[in-house]
Amino acid sequence: MRKIVTLAVALLLAATGMAQTNSNAKFNLVVGSFSGDYADQQRVNVISELCKSHRANVIEQGVYNALPQNVRSKMQVFAVITGKSTLTTEQKESTRTDKNGNKKTVITYNSKMATTLTFTDPASGKTICEPVFESTSYDEDRSKSINNAIAVGSTKGKQMFLVQQLLTLEEFLQDKYPLHGKIINVEEAKKNKAEVVTVNLGSRDAIYRGQTFEIVGEKKNYGKLRVREINDDSLSTLSVEKSGKDIMKAIANGEELQIVSYVQVISLNGLVRVEQEAPRLTVTSIDEVKKRNVAFGGITGGAPDNFVSTVKSKLKDNRRVNGYELGAKDCPALETLDGLVYGYYTGMENTSRLVKAEEELLVLKDYTEYTCRLGWYLFIVDPKTGNIVSASNEGCTAISDESAEAATNKAIRNAADITSATYSTYPLIGTILTIEDGDTKKAKSVSIDLGSDFPVREGLRFDVYTQDAAAGWEKVGRIEVANIVDGTHSSCTVKKGGEAIRKAVEENLPIRITTFILKELLEL
C-alpha cells in the first residue's frame, strides 16, 4: 500500500486586498460557521491551527457569544473566519508487477479537499481576503484517502510522504502580516562580520524563537536573521545567518537597518521546532507570583455534564489559580478577575480492539484494549482588557484494559487538567538566592525565593535568566523544584547551565527565573 499526501495553497485575495496593520501585536480572530463536505472537521482543523499560531489569537464563535457583553465589547476582533469545503474522490486503476513477474490490477482513490476561508471585517461586513487551501491524497483504502485529505493549512496529512514545499495557515498569516522592527545593536562580531544582533521586538510582539527575518536597508536588502532568544518585552537576540559583513558596513555608514519577518519554506525532510513561551521578565512585583483569580464561564459544543463538572473541580484544585464559577456567590466581581475560562467541546470517540498477548514465562490470555479520545479547546480571556490570553488544544487519548468506562473516565480526568495551561498563561517569576552545593565549577542545587506560600510544586521547572546591560535578559540555564522548604524557600536541582548560574550568583548579577512550559511543534 502506498500513500502520498500533498497540501497546496492557492491564495485568492479579494479585490480590496488584505488590510495591512502597523501593529506587531497579535490580532484576534473568531472562527464562525462552516459549510460543505466534512465542515465540522475542517472547522476544528482551523481552530487547532490558530491555537498554535504566533501571529493571531483565536476564539470559537459560540465561546465568543457566551462571554459577558462588557468583555466582548473590549475585545477587538480583527476578522471572523467562515469556511466552505468541497471533497471530490476519483477511483483509478493501475497495473503493478511483483518480484515474480506477476501483474496485478490495483485500485487507488485520489481525494481532493478544497476549502475556502473567508475573513470578514466584523465592523464593516466587508471581505478582507479569501484564501483557498487544497489538500490531496491517494491511497488504496478509500477512507484513508479521504481522511488524509481533510486538512486546512495544517500538518495533518503531511506526516508520511511530502512531495512539495507547503504553506500552512500559520505561515499564511505570517506572510500576509509580517512583523516590522529594527536592529539596535550588534552584540557579537568576528573578523568584522556581525554574528549576533539585538532588535526592538520582544514578548509584547508576535515574535517566537526560530522565526526568520530579512534585513531591509535604505539602498538594498541585506542578510537574514533567526530569533535565538526573547530577552524581554521589547528586546530579542537574533543570530545572523547571511551577509554579516554587509550588516557591519551599513551600520558603520550610519544606515538604519529595518527587519521584516518572512516565511521560510519547510524543508523536504521536515522541521522539528521546540519553543518556549515568551518570558515576561520586566515585572517582578508580588502580584506576578500570587495566585490569580480565575472563573469558569462554561463549555460550548454540547459537552457532557461529567466532563464539565470535572473541569470545574480541576480548576478549584489548581495550585496556580484561585478557581471560581462565574456568577457564584463566592466569585469575585467580574472587573477584578484575572481570567475567564471557557471551552469548546469537539466530541468523544470510543473504540476497542482485541490484543493478542504473547506467551513468555507465564501463559497470557488475549484481552480487549479500550481507547477513548476526547477533544476540546481551552480559551482564557482577561475580563479587564478583553484580550485572549490563552488558546490551546487540551484534548487527549486514554487507554485501558479494564473497560470502556475506565478509558472514558481516564480521558475525562486527563483532558480536564489544565495545570500546564495556567502556568503557561500566568508564569511564576522569582529569583535564585544561594547555591547550596560545594561544587566550585558549576551549581548543582540552588535555593529560590518561592515556597509553599506561592503556587510552587515539586517537579515544576524554571528557566534561569541573567540581565545584561546591553542585551537585556538572556537565558542561561534551567532548574527543577526538588523540595519545598518553607513558605518562601524551595530547593532546586540544576538541570542545565550550572556554570553560568554559579557565575551569575557569585558576581551578584541580576537573576530571574520563570516557569518553563515546553511547547513542541512538529512540522513535516
**DSSP 8-state class, residue 71:** H
Identify the CA nearest to 257 among candidates 217, 220, 224: 217
How many C-beta atoms lie closer than 10 Å to residue 255's C-beta? 15
Tens digits of residue pLDDT in 211-238:
899 998 777 777 889 998 888 788 899 9
Task: Name the grid cell of 134.
Answer: 487544497
Give pLDDT, residue 52: 86
Residues paired with residue 304 on neighbouring β-strands, in sequence order? none
Cα–Cα distance between 496 and 67 in angstroms, integer?
Answer: 42
Give pLDDT, residue 282: 54
CA distances, 445 to each of 303, 448, 462, 509 (Å) = 45, 10, 13, 18
Tens digits of residue pLDDT in 108-165:
888 888 889 999 999 999 999 998 888 888 888 888 888 888 876 554 433 333 323 3
Cα–Cα distance between 8 and 152 in angstroms, integer?
Answer: 10
Burial of 15 (0-12, 13-18, 19+ CB in 10 A): exposed
Distance of CA 495 to the CA centre of its chain: 24
CB 17 within 8 A of CB 486: no
Tens digits of residue pLDDT in 443-497:
999 999 999 988 998 999 998 988 876 656 788 899 999 999 999 999 999 999 9
CB 380 within 8 A of CB 413: no
- Enumerate domains of the chain plus CATH numbers: 4-167 (3.40.50), 180-261 (2.40.10), 286-425 (3.40.50.10610), 429-523 (2.40.30)
Burial of 97 (0-12, 13-18, 19+ CB in 10 A): exposed
CB 212 within 8 A of CB 261: yes
Among all chains, which residue has been given the C-alpha cell 506561592?
454
Q: Along the chain (524 residues), what's the average pLDDT of each consecutive run of 10 residues? A: 34 33 80 95 92 92 97 95 93 81 85 90 94 82 84 48 51 88 89 89 87 84 86 87 87 88 56 45 62 96 96 94 95 95 96 82 79 96 94 93 95 93 88 88 93 90 81 83 94 94 90 71 30
Among all chains, which residue has been given the C-alpha cell 484494549?
369
Residue type, 451: G
Cα–Cα distance between 211 and 174 in angstroms, integer?
Answer: 10
Cα–Cα distance between 356 and 73 in angstroms, integer?
Answer: 58
**444 SS3 class:** coil
Residue type, 68: P
Angle, helices 39-51/169-176, rounded to nearest 10 degrees: 60
Give pLDDT, residue 520: 37
Identify the CA nearest to 301 among candidates 247, 335, 342: 342
CB 31 within 8 A of CB 47: yes
Burial of 3 (0-12, 13-18, 19+ CB in 10 A): middle
Give pLDDT, residue 361: 61
Task: Name the grid cell of 22.
Answer: 502597523
Give pLDDT, residue 113: 85
Strands of the sheet containing 429-430, edge to edge, are 429-430, 511-515, 461-468, 472-486, 489-496, 445-448, 432-435
Give pLDDT, residue 521: 33
**12 SS3 class:** strand
